[in-house]
Amino acid sequence: MSDGSVELKSSKLSARIAPLGAELVKLADEQGRDLLWNGDPAFWTGHAPLLFPIVGRLPGDQLVHEGVAYPMAQHGFARRRTFEPVEATSASARFVLVSDEETRRQYPFEFALSVTYTLDEATLTIKAEVSNPGTEPLPASFGFHPAFLWPLPYGGIRAEHHLIFEKAEAEPIHRPVGGLLSAATEPNPAVDAVMALDDAMFERDALIFLDVRSHHVRYGVPGEPGLEIAFPGMAELGVWSKPGAPFLCIEPWSGYATPENGPVEFMDKPGLSLIPPGGSKSFAMAVRWLSDSGR
């Protein structure tokens, strides 16, 4: 396409990925019905941004390394950088972002971030690999932030939509407080692994599940087509919308915002992956279209 976007297509799904942020900007079923939020600025301009090298916020929006402060906006800079498309077919595409002078002004580390989208029939898989070409450990977090339509285009109303977890989730959840992770917790809203969705639950921002037991959730109205979002190896999950907004973000994370009253030095921040020199770490999620979103 003229903007450099790459289109993938199978018998069940179609997808489009933009070089800006290597972001998935369209996902549709075999009949062309949209499943992904369209980025309407009246509510939120994102579609499915990739979060790197942080998830959430840092205190004062500053990354402090060895006493030097660097400006770092919420969720990092990858979503605002143009990636280089290096491979593209009708079934897969790979994009790469590497450290440069601009990234080092915010994040004083060498890195390479490769993102591969693969479409196989009814499943879109997204794999990100963070590599460390430097000589010191690379501290990083990574997160996915896809926004799916709420309601989905299959007839069910908003109030009939549920998230069904793979396993029972009983641990208390956290909320963001000024973008940081709250010290306070509240009861887990998933009852017997089922979380009914309503606007009121997002009046105080996102729901943050730490050390989530499940490796996938199902989203939709039981008895109607829906989606399964799988996130093997991702320890945290965020669920977010804005009251009245026609989208639901289901966000697998590896990492999270700095806790309230948390450490100032970035290397001391909980939730970071420390990638050794010459090493790499992969993060993945998959979206599978289901003919029935129920159990």
Domains recognised in the chain with CATH numbers: 6-290 (2.70.98.10)
Of 193, 191, 221, 189, nearest to 207 by C-alpha is 189
Judge contact between 144 and 251, C-beta under 8 A. yes
Q: What is the pLDDT of residue 2?
A: 62
Predicted confidence at residue 3, as pLDDT, reads 80
Question: To 5 degrees, how large is the angle CA 239–CA 95–CA 237?
Answer: 15
Q: Which tokens hold the place of 144?
A: 């996915």
For residue 11, the model assigns a pLDDT of: 96
Q: Would you say 14 and 91 are in contact if contact means Cβ atoms under 8 Å apart? A: no
- Are the C-beta atoms of residues 195 and 189 closer than 8 Å to each other? yes
**Digitized pLDDT (tens) for each residue of the chain, 295 residues in all:** 668 899 999 999 999 999 999 999 999 999 999 999 999 999 999 999 999 999 999 999 999 999 999 999 999 999 999 999 999 999 999 999 999 999 999 999 999 999 999 999 999 999 999 999 999 999 999 999 999 999 999 999 999 999 999 999 999 999 999 999 999 999 999 999 999 999 999 999 999 999 899 999 999 999 999 999 999 999 999 999 999 999 999 999 999 999 999 999 999 999 999 999 999 999 999 999 999 887 6
pLDDT of residue 1: 66
pLDDT value of residue 295: 67
pLDDT of residue 283: 98
What was the pLDDT predicted at 115?
98
Cα 83 to Cα 21, 51, 79, 163, 242: the distances in Å are: 6, 14, 9, 32, 29
Joined together, the tokens standing for residue 176 give 């963001």
**Rounded to 5 degrees, what are φ and ψ at 190?**
-85, 120
